[in-house]
Structure 1
Amino acid sequence: MSKAFSEFIPLGTSAHDFELEDVTTKSKFSFNDVKGDKGTLIIFMCNHCPYVHHIIEELIMITNDYRVQGIGFAAISSNDFVTYPEDSPEKMIEFAFDNNFEFPYLIDYYQDVAKKYQVNCTPDFYLFDQQDKLVYHGQIDDSRPGNSIPTSGNDLRSAIDSILYNRSINSVQKPSMGCNIKWKKNSVL
């Protein structure tokens, strides 16, 4: 496991479109398909990362709490699953069912979407407003595996609440931290 931090991306950046397959339904989804009426959270994650495992329960609570309030969700796995078979589509299906995903779990076969979004780690959170502009790109909260801080989702929940209740979002955002993206050997960044 190589620890990495999310890249700085200017707030106000427009969401990049994509068309990716949901491993559980085999249906294709674009950004517009997963977009919520009030905002959209795109989550880059994978099956094997201990940082993802550490926050997954809270993440599922967040998605369940906010999807009924008009926030759209999608998770994307971009890791090279040939080299890292624990991130294969079959394992993604298991992970989605084991954790009761109520949102698409999309596979980025060619890693194009991860490159467009400048993803550097898993988990990595991109929150967009109604105009598909980036308003939050940071951590879920201060909890990390082994640091004894309980997982609360405070940072991400605060950003989502700001969208829902028309509050200003703090422009100082702590980067997400997790496992580095497992790029394909011939992948050019």
Structure 2
Amino acid sequence: MVLTASTMLSLGTKAPNFQLPDVVSGETISLDTFTDKKAILVMFICRHCPFVKHVQQELAQLGKDYLQSGLGIVAISSNDVKNYPDDAPELLKEMATELDFKFPLCYDESQETAKIYTAACTPDFFLFDSEQKLFYRGQLDDSRPSNGKPVTGKDLRSAIDAVLTSKSLTEEQKPSIGCNIKWKPGNEPDYFG
């Protein structure tokens, strides 16, 4: 595990399009799936990461709490499954089913979606407004697996509530921290310098 922080993509960046299979339904999910939504939350997660495991119940709860709100949510796993078999699509499907995710969990086999979003870690969150412009990127909250702080989702929930009510976000946006995305050998992105 390499502790990695979000890249903090520039606010206002247009949401990159993607087309990925949902591991549960098999349907192809893209930005067009969410054209009728007031906002879109793109989450990069995986199954094996202790940082994701620490917050996975809150991620499932987010999906339930915002189901009727106008927020579209998609989770994406981009890890190299050859070296990290716990993140294979069939096991991601088990995770989504066990946690009762109310949003698609997609598998990014080529890792190109992670790259175009400049995703760096799991979990990594990107929240876009009704014009599909980046409104928030960063952490779920201040909780980490070993710091004893409760998982509340307060940072991300505050951003979601603001974007859904067309308010500005005044709080500082702190990067998410987690395991690095497990890039296939030779496929590492160049945005790490």
Please classify the TM superposition score into its range, dividing by the shorter chain length.
over 0.9
Counterpart of 1:40 in structure 2: which amino acid?
Answer: I
Moved over 6 A (4+): none
Partner of 2:31: 31
Q: In the TM superposition, what is the alpha-carbon distance from 1:84 to its structure 2 partner?
A: 0.6
Relative to structure 1, the CA distance from residue 35 to residue 141 in structure 2 (aligned partners, 3 Å threshold; closer, same or farther) is: farther
Partner of 2:78: 78
8 A contact 2:51–2:123 mirrored in 1: yes
Q: In the TM superposition, what is the alpha-carbon distance from 1:88 to its structure 2 partner?
A: 0.5
Aligned residues: 189
CA RMSD, Structure 1 to Structure 2 (Å): 1.1
8 A contact 2:67–2:102 mirrored in 1: no
Q: In the TM superposition, what is the alpha-carbon distance from 1:27 to its structure 2 partner?
A: 1.1
Partner of 1:108: 108
Q: In the TM superposition, what is the alpha-carbon distance from 1:166 to its structure 2 partner?
A: 2.0
Q: In the TM superposition, what is the alpha-carbon distance from 1:36 to its structure 2 partner?
A: 5.2
Q: Distance in 2 between matches of 1:21 and 1:101?
A: 15
Q: Distance in 1 between matches of 2:53 and 2:130?
A: 29
Query: CA offsets per residue over residues 151-180 of structure 1, 9 Å max, x none?
Result: 111000100110122221136200000000
Listed as ranges, the matches of 1:35-46 within 5 Å are: 35=35, 37-46=37-46
The answer as to 2:62 corresponding to 1:59 is: no
Where does the alignment leave 5 or more consecutive residues of structure 2 unmatched?
Answer: none
Partner of 1:143: 143
State the SS of the aligned residue for 1:42.
Answer: strand
Partner of 1:126: 126
Relative to structure 1, the CA distance from residue 13 to residue 110 in structure 2 (aligned partners, 3 Å threshold; closer, same or farther) is: same
Partner of 1:91: 91
* TM value normalised by structure 2: 0.95
